[in-house]
Structure 1
């Protein structure tokens, strides 16, 4: 059970009482000898969690049902055996959304289905043979990945009291890590994706973002994947705004109309890191936008506001092109999950994956996409020393 506080997402956000959540989790230990990634990560637990959350205001914010795959690590094991970190990323259904007339001050959630993220520290306060009683402190997030605006996101801080039930007495790890040699492989990979986003609250219908990326790097011990590459994207919203003679194009950038396709594109370089857990990959990328010319208009539309003056005239104020704009224009990020057709534990030379990711300008959601890709591994480079 979680008790916590829903944080204010915007000015005049609806008042909330105590947030209440109930989560039911099912997890497994990973002590099997053939799970190299588990040995490399000191035998984390993995599983799936189903939760129900009441945000503390049933009329204006409502409730959510969430589903999270998770991984749980023991941390500071030398200092204490009782502290664990659990991280989950998944999806949620939220039953109450923003409405310009009926619910105008909840600008956090605008769609039924949303991305969800959960991070909790757990401390085991009392242990019996098959039951651990735990205190937890954590953070929860819900947002739609820029597929409809407004999308300020629901953020919560929570305290939990829970019990963990083991189906058997506490198992002891099978120390097989010594059988795994330290090794690395060079890889090359490509992916194509199709995503969706909206341009602004004025242009709030979903349109596609098409992308392609290539990368190369190293896979260390069949568990850690690091690399870098190049991405290219085409934004349908950008293209349509230019083709339809949008006001800001006419006023500021009329030359965009000479090549709407080119000015609706984005390309850059990225560094990628991925945790390989058998068939599953947890991926985080950090990128540098070399070319994204339309983002100037994107920013002005999204960071601006409008109001009605005393004489009834609507005044539009554009977002300021300040230092923060320069950072957001330059830095991209990407986070999500991948499923590989063949387990990475077996180090297959050829592998195919599908992925679901949220892409961002720095930390602000840009678009959500689905992708399919291919990875090719070259031969092992193996060291003579063993692990442990």
Structure 2
């Protein structure tokens, strides 16, 4: 989990450095959330009458230079958010406290009415996790330090030069990425209402579309990636290393998009421990804990950042991992022209498997 916190700090530092300009508006935002918890597994306790509520505060910049606008024909907002959530069930779930960097592309930000998308991820603290004696039914989460991912959308209306009201919805997911079990994770969509206050408003310029502008450094590329993390076995007593190597082909389309097809080979020693514990054998030998997979998906390219969603399938997996397919959600930061770091959350359908740290080389 330490590498996730460091990556979030690095992400915020990069965003902050890009935003330090008199051409960007400085904003303070606050909003209230109200939502519900999705029961994505039959093994979860009944929380149908539980309605989480929360308070969120942002310190952010509205990026307003022409170079930024040409990327998406929009003025993105980026910054750091503090998000407090009360799960409306203190004896079982308690509360969460998250601090995460985010990016929020805003369409028609210069007009009275505007629309926005929001993506963010970062560390999260939970104050009432699973305990075999004091809280044995909470199999949503067992690690106080976890990770939150948010994805949302909404609309804003400017009521004064300094003030905008906002309304929207957001999907929130909290998980520890398999570092400690049980870890079913918690999914809780919320509706929110709040306001943005422009501490330092900067007038919006009227930019024109530059046809043929190349916003990506390459049309296609090959990539080699290494990954590493640690996760617990099913019993959840200790952590074991997970590491692997992969590669793939990427091809851009449009101005900010790329598709890819990739494969990876992973050695999962938490699964190896589980195989030993259950004495799973084949032809007199322990079942192999390695797996190979192919996957592909969509990548959003925003300057030095890449946000990705991948769907994959196991092509070699003697050990039963509960599903033949899996998903990956990731964010990478391009540090140099051909070197990038990032993190990926791998999930077998609705259950998080592990959260990894990765280092990639672009060929």
TM-score between the two structures when normalised by the length of structure 1: 0.75
Residues 1:17 and 1:289: Cα distance change in structure 2 (over 3 Å):
closer
CA contact 1:4–1:156 (8 Å) conserved in 2 = no
2:136 paired residue number: 104
C-alpha distance in 1 between matches for 2:62 and 2:207:
11
C-alpha distance in 2 between matches for 1:174 and 1:76:
12
2:11 paired residue number: none
C-alpha deviation, 1:31, in angstroms: 3.2
C-alpha distance in 2 between matches for 1:73 and 1:182:
16
Residues 1:70 and 1:288: Cα distance change in structure 2 (over 3 Å):
same
2:18 paired residue number: none
| Pairing of 1:336-375 with structure 2 (within 5 A) | 336-342=330-336, 348=337, 351-375=338-362
C-alpha distance in 2 between matches for 1:270 and 1:2:
38
C-alpha distance in 2 between matches for 1:94 and 1:102:
15
CA contact 1:92–1:114 (8 Å) conserved in 2 = yes
Q: Does 1:266 align with 2:291?
A: yes
C-alpha distance in 1 between matches for 2:214 and 2:150:
34
Q: Does 1:90 align with 2:84?
A: no
Total equivalences in the alignment: 326
Larger Rg: 1
1:31 paired residue number: 64
1:70 paired residue number: 102
C-alpha distance in 1 between matches for 2:327 and 2:340:
20
C-alpha deviation, 1:265, in angstroms: 0.9
| Pairing of 1:142-291 with structure 2 (within 5 A) | 142-166=174-198, 167-175=200-208, 177-178=210-211, 180-181=213-214, 185-200=219-234, 202-220=235-253, 223-242=256-275, 244=276, 246-250=277-281, 253-257=282-286, 263-291=288-316
Secondary structure (helix, strand or coil) at the match of 1:148 reads: coil
Q: Deviations over 1:33-68 (max 9, x none)?
A: 334xx4232223333212122222334322211122
Residues 1:57 and 1:175: Cα distance change in structure 2 (over 3 Å):
same
CA contact 2:71–2:255 (8 Å) conserved in 1 = no
CA contact 1:3–1:159 (8 Å) conserved in 2 = yes
C-alpha deviation, 1:231, in angstroms: 0.6
Q: Does 1:42 align with 2:73?
A: yes
C-alpha deviation, 1:173, in angstroms: 4.5
TM-score between the two structures when normalised by the length of structure 2: 0.80
RMSD: 2.9
C-alpha deviation, 1:213, in angstroms: 0.5
C-alpha deviation, 1:193, in angstroms: 1.1
2:27 paired residue number: none
Secondary structure (helix, strand or coil) at the match of 1:177 reads: coil
Gapped regions of structure 2 (runs ≥ 5): 1-30
Q: Deviations over 1:340-382 (max 9, x none)?
A: 113xxxxx4xx11111111122342111111111113xxxxxx
CA contact 1:223–1:275 (8 Å) conserved in 2 = yes
